[in-house]
């Protein structure tokens, strides 16, 4: 009977949406780096080659950011859904930012959990921080071993975290 009540409250607490996290700071860095790299082509290939290199590098960088943001958002959504389905109380998810990292703060009954990383596809990493302790893993590795990672994080945050708080 208690499990049924828990699942009903979990559904009511978690709305099921993760805020979008397209980050202008990362796009700004991509623009600057594309401009610097393209400027190296101007003396050797002329202005037209420099402009073509800038457009190519800028397009690749923006696509890399969009794909990285989608990957981190998908992982965050999966973690929150997994934790909620396992019985953890998730009150909501808000977008946060720290330096060049794209982050979401997951508000839970045992405290806030920060999930995010660098949202640029070739170097995308998933990082999770809870009570000042964090860990990170390559985002593609996190997708490949998602169930194991989600179970371990649930145990560490909701089971161990709740028992440590109760002391």
Q: How far apart are the first and last CA of the chain?
A: 27
Sheet with strand 111-117: strands edge to edge: 90-98, 101-108, 111-117, 125-130, 133-138
pLDDT per position as a tens digit, 12-34: 345 667 777 677 777 888 899 89
pLDDT at residue 136, rounded to an integer? 92
**pLDDT tens digits, 49-99:** 889 989 999 999 899 988 988 999 999 999 999 999 998 888 888 888 766
pLDDT for 102-151, tens place per residue? 888 999 889 999 998 888 888 889 999 998 889 999 999 999 999 999 99
pLDDT tens for each residue of 137-149: 999 999 999 999 9
């Amino acid at each position: 009977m208690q499990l049924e009540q828990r699942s009903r409250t979990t559904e009511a607490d978690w709305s099921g949406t993760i805020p979008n996290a397209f980050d202008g700071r990362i796009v700004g860095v991509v623009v600057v780096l594309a401009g610097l790299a393209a400027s190296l082509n101007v003396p050797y290939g002329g202005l037209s080659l420099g402009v073509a290199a800038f457009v190519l590098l800028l397009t690749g960088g923006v696509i890399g950011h969009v794909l990285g943001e989608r990957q981190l958002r998908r992982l965050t959504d999966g973690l929150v859904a997994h934790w909620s389905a396992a019985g953890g109380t998730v009150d909501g998810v808000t977008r946060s930012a720290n330096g060049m990292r794209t982050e979401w703060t997951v508000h839970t009954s045992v405290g806030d959990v920060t999930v995010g990383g660098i949202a640029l596809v070739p170097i995308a990493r998933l990082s999770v921080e809870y009570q000042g302790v964090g860990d990170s893993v390559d985002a593609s590795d996190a997708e490949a071993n998602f169930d194991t990672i989600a179970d371990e994080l649930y145990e560490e945050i909701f089971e161990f975290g709740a028992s440590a708080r109760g002391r």
